Amino acid sequence: MKPEIQRISQISPDQSVVCIIGNDTIPERLNLGKSEKEYAQRQLRTREEYIFINSYKKCTYIIRLKDGLSQHKVREELRKNSYNLRTLIKGNNHSELVITSEGAYQGAVEDFAEGLLLSFYSFDKYKTKTGDDVKQQYPGKLLLHGNIADTDIRWLVELTDAVYFTRNLINEPVNHLNAPALAREIKRIGDSAGFSVEVLTKGKIEALKMGGLLAVNKGSIDPPVFCILEWHPAGCLNKNPIVLVGKGIVYDTGGLNIKTGDFMAGMNGDMAGAATVTGVLHTVARTGIPLHIIGLIPSTDNRPGGNAYTQGDIITMHNKLTVEIGNTDAEGRLILADAISYASKYSPELIIDIATLTGSAAMTFGNQAIAVMTNADRKYIKLLEECGNEVYERIAELPFWDEYGELLKSDIADLKNIGGREAGAIIAGKFLERFAEFPLIHLDIAGTEMLKKDDYYRLKNGPASGLRLLSTFLRRIAAEYSEKN
């Protein structure tokens, strides 16, 4: 459970407070004694990361914003400060904690609260809890003080709720979350948030001739599923929907091209794209964004058992293109391709797929940027870049030149599912482009999602990379539509 969020209009003298300041003035409303205020002023001159004052009845945390940084960098530094303070805040066992600001930018309170909430997350569902382990380890309530709009409070609550359950889905082991179980969870979340979910089982997938999804599933004892999520509010602003496609590989062994060494570790998180799409639909629906949004989630595990597909197999995809299998560990693009092809039935304004797709993307950008490839209008990429800076889930674009597609040529089929060793992330994107009849943005989150250690509040083992980016992107698109109308 995460802390409850409330807004307050006044701070009482005995409440514990986090105060974000934009200059060296200590606000009177912190109710500090003379010696405490003098101590705080001395510490401010040393430019400490934060100041902590432990009074008899309360704790006070003061954070001085850094000077000389760009606006989006200042915001990110504040979120990082929340991560650095989380252990101290937990240790002080506050039942509630006030967050306020003085002389800071509009939104500083919400940014700190967001970083703190995301830093508090932990996946301990399967731990046996006794004694001190069951005690509340974070404030039960975060009380936001200041001029904060109701819509911004709601956005903070729903977005962080979505990150929490998305991380939960990513962290579930496959013996508790196979493809049918994932579909049930998506349906449950849809019912709660207010978007519709249709689950296509294996017979329907066969009828749709989704050869990529069916081929990857051949080595599994569990059937595949294909989930269709839809948010279509009355009075939506877009004539044609935006379609989000998320990779739902609930466990990836690599298939017959089995992963070696420790490369199979964490592969229960290979469905992070699917979980993220679900989280975005939750946020969109719960905050009432007036856009028609569709989510498509193909899901299976990729195993070497049974009648598993092999190198050299020829499969026929949903759009009737034939594919020569060059490597069974390049399975994500096969299930995504079927879903992207299926998206054409909606005549979408835009298709965005998100997937932990290639090690190449991780090697290129590390954990600092989401790899982006696109054939869409530049206005979408400009907006996506702005949103990426805003939430600090930054994007970095790779070229999408036609020449890269030449590397997918096959002697015996329409194309192969892999190219050579070079430009692996781009070639994967070019493969997906062959199945898109409408503008496509491809987001490869392999580097930003598969973390081996915490990247501040983006915690290891499933930070839900791309969720805040895409949610903010759709919110901005709706605002731009509204301004035009």
Task: State yes or no: pLDDT of 138 exceeds 90.
Answer: no
pLDDT digit string, tens, across residues 312-328: 999 999 999 999 999 99
How much is the mean pLDDT over the chain?
96
Residues 6+ apart with CB under 8 A from 129: none
Query: What pLDDT, on a 0 to 100 scale, did the predictor assign at position 137?
Result: 65
d(CA 309, CA 317): 14
Residues 6+ apart with CB under 8 A from 169: 177, 182, 185, 271, 274, 275, 278
d(CA 402, CA 196): 37
Query: Is 457:118 a contact under the CB 8 Å cutoff?
Result: yes
Task: State yes or no: pLDDT of 134 exceeds 60.
Answer: no
pLDDT digit string, tens, across residues 256-278: 999 999 999 999 999 999 999 99
For 259, the 3-state DSSP assignment is: coil
d(CA 169, CA 247): 13
Return the percentage of the chain with pLDDT > 90, whole number: 93
d(CA 236, CA 244): 17
Catalytic annotation, pick one of 37, 259, 434, 476: 259
Catalytic annotation, pick one of 333, 416, 458, 475: 333
d(CA 403, CA 413): 19
Calculate the alpha carbon distances from 174 to 171, 182, 270, 303, 447 in Å.
9, 10, 10, 12, 22
Query: What pLDDT, on a 0 to 100 scale, did the predictor assign at position 135?
Result: 55
d(CA 204, CA 37): 69
CB atoms near residue 293 (< 10 Å): 27
User: Whose CA is closest to 155, among 308, 285, 324?
Assistant: 285
For 24, the 3-state DSSP assignment is: coil
What are the structural domain ranges in the chain? 4-148, 156-484
AA identity, residue 324: E
Q: How far apart are the first and last CA of the chain?
A: 40
The superfamily CATH assigns to domain 156-484 is Zn peptidases (3.40.630.10)
Per DSSP bridges, beta strands 242-246 and 293-302 are parallel
CATH number of 4-148: 3.40.220.10
pLDDT digit string, tens, across residues 9-25: 999 999 999 999 999 99
pLDDT digit string, tens, across residues 340-385: 999 999 999 999 999 999 999 999 999 999 999 999 999 999 999 9
CA trace torsion 2, 286, 482, 231 (10° rounding): 140
- Dihedral pair phi/psi, residue 55, rounded to 5°: -90, 180
pLDDT digit string, tens, across residues 196-227: 999 999 999 999 999 999 999 999 999 999 99
Q: How confident is the model at residue 46 (pLDDT cuts 50, 70, 90)?
A: confident
Task: State yes or no: pLDDT of 434 exceeds 70.
Answer: yes
Q: How confident is the model at residue 184 (pLDDT cuts 50, 70, 90)?
A: very high
Residues 6+ apart with CB under 8 A from 319: 341, 344, 435
Overall average pLDDT of the 152-162 stretch: 98
- What tokens were used for 125? 């569902």
Task: State yes or no: pLDDT of 435 exceeds 80.
Answer: yes
Transcribe 206-245 into DSSP letters. HHTT-HHHHHHHTT-SSPPEEEEEEE--TT-S-SS-EEEE
d(CA 354, CA 186): 17
- What tokens were used for 381? 């990429």
Query: What pLDDT, on a 0 to 100 scale, did the predictor assign at position 1?
Result: 76
Query: Is 432:377 a contact under the CB 8 Å cutoff?
Result: no
d(CA 131, CA 127): 13
Overall average pLDDT of the 413-428 stretch: 96
Quote helix, strand, coil % in the chain, to nearest 5: 40, 20, 40
* 259 counts as catalytic: yes
d(CA 108, CA 269): 32
Overall average pLDDT of the 290-305 stretch: 98
- What tokens were used for 295? 């989510």
Q: How confident is the model at residue 47 (pLDDT cuts 50, 70, 90)?
A: confident
Reported pTM: 0.96
Task: State yes or no: pLDDT of 136 exceeds 60.
Answer: no
pLDDT digit string, tens, across residues 74-133: 999 999 999 999 999 999 999 999 999 999 999 999 999 999 999 999 999 999 876 555
